[in-house]
Amino acid sequence: MVTSEGTVLSMDFSPRDKSMSDIVSLLARVPYFRSQAIEVIEALAESSRRATFEARAAIFLEGNPVYGLYIIEKGVVKISRTSKDGREYILHILYPGDTFNGVAAIDGGPNPATATAYSDVVVWCIRRPDLRRLANRYPALSWALVESISRRARHLLGVVEDLAMRNVRGRLAHLLLEEVESRDAQAVPRMMTQEEMAGRLGTVREVVGRALRGLTADGIIEFDRHNIVILDLERLREEADV
């Protein structure tokens, strides 16, 4: 299947390609499933379906009917929305063990955003009817899903705070800080173009370029061929608090 965004390698949503233990292990990495009894995780695994997507393929589109809750096994997924004038705003960049489309999977509404494979991706999906059936059977799972939505709401409040209270340089510093801390590293792989950084920061590429050059001139970051290297983490934190 070929889309305008790329090519779907496989979309049969079949669990037969992996053993049950592999699926259980993946689900156990999801933060809000970790506390669930093994019986619950195994039930979720039995309802999971696997699909693979080539880099730049659309996993699903904003406004389309919901299919279910997705869990990333491999690769990176971009969650974004597009304005009427065609400008993209990137809401999340997600990695293995992360989930997405939980809001639509729970309330049954259309997909609130577009999910795109940022690299070659393998995902598992639990269809909404199966998720609802299991949540009715296991009350602890219902509460875990509520907590997951609450965490998403907190993240979005943080996004609003970023846009309202930080200038672009501060938002860029905050983005770089989040990336290095989430990876426990001193460098940010340059997977994102300046255009994509702008999409995450709610600005345009030229402004991001100026902010990057400013942080470089001040000795806070430097570039090598593949990474943005953090030279002064404390000063980056200070910039992120602006």
Could you report the per-residue pLDDT of 141-161, keeping only the tens digit for each? 999 888 888 887 777 777 777
**Residue 105 is part of which domain span?**
15-161
Task: Reply yes or no on whether the pLDDT at 188 is more than 60.
Answer: yes
Domain boundary pick from 131, 161, 191:
161
Question: Quick one: DSSP state of residue 92?
Answer: E
* Whether 176 and 152 share a structural domain: no
If you ran DSSP here, which 8-state letter would residue 42 be given?
Answer: H
The contacts found for 211-220 with CB under 8 angstroms, 24 or more apart, are: 211/168, 211/169, 211/172, 212/172, 214/169, 215/169, 215/172, 215/173, 215/239, 220/173
Question: Is the same domain home to 56 and 89?
Answer: yes
How much is the mean pLDDT over the chain? 84
Q: How far apart are CA 163 and CA 159, in angstroms?
A: 6
pLDDT digits (tens, 9 = 90+) for 193-203: 788 888 888 88
Cross-strand partners of 177: none
Return d(Cα 82, Cα 69) in angstroms, integer. Answer: 21
Q: In total, how many domains does the chain have?
A: 2
The CATH number linked to 235 is 1.10.10.10
**Mean pLDDT, range 93-111, rounded to an integer:** 92
Cα distance between residue 96 and residue 139, in whole Å: 26
Per the confidence metrics, is the pTM higher than 0.75?
no
1 within domain boundaries: no
Pairing of strands 77-82, 48-53: unpaired
The Cα–Cα gap between 235 and 31 comes to 31
Which of 161, 188, 221 marks a domain boundary? 161
Return the pLDDT at 191.
Answer: 61
Residues 170 and 156 in one domain: no
